[in-house]
Amino acid sequence: MRARLVAGALGLAGVGWLWLVPALGSFLVVADPLPPAADAIVVLAGSVRDRTLAAAALYRQGLAPHVVVTREALPPGDVALRKGGVALPDSDALARTALEGLGVPASAIVTLRRRAPSTAGEARTIARWACTRGVRRLVVVTSPSHTRRARLILRRALGPGVAVSVQPSTTDAFAGPRWYRVRRDAKIVASEWQKLANHWLRERWTLEPCGGLSARPKT
């Protein structure tokens, strides 16, 4: 009898494990319904190729009149190169080049000036820009594995006055429920869950509506 109970418990644990492992990857990916129209499409920094392809496609559909590009903090290597007189293109400059090549007019591209070291930093910058301009609806493009966390952070930083729809880039090769079979994706899943834990336990309490601006301007 005892052996049967142990075998049953192990079987249930095995089934639970088989369900849990794929879910760790699938949970990270969200895709919100697209609104009929938005004030702007935002491209989060990183993975320039995949994210600009998705953003440009949405722009060509007539979803929004502007594409907003964020700027990431310069890595130490870039800072050292610049001190040595070598200037490599920033990721935001590469994003602008890609967007223009994909049919987005230069006049429709907005680059936010403040450099951000993290998604939370990007969200604050985006929120301040949106709230000072009376923006009501944004569509945000990022990598699939980043969508869940980006949506949590952006909704908290933007506040209830700005609706946000998060879209995963469609050309990213993230394996989702099969993440454990791909070394790159296994590293991504481990990193995202660590960052999600940090957000739930600490980071979210530091995010204020409109990126910390005292008040949203009247429109």
Contacts 24+ apart (CB under 8 A), 197-205: 199/120, 199/149, 199/152, 199/153, 203/120, 203/153, 204/152, 204/153, 204/156
Residues 6+ positions from 109 with CB-CB distance below 8 Å: 66, 67, 68, 69, 96, 99, 100
**Tokens, residue 207:** 């995010």
31 and 147 in contact (C-beta within 8 Å)?
yes
User: Does residue 71 carry a pLDDT above 90?
Assistant: yes
Of 14 and 91, more confident: 91
Kindly indicate the confidence band of residue 83, based on its pLDDT and cuts at 50, 70 and 90.
confident
Structural domains for the chain? 23-212 (3.40.50.620)
Q: Which residue type is seen at 8?
A: G
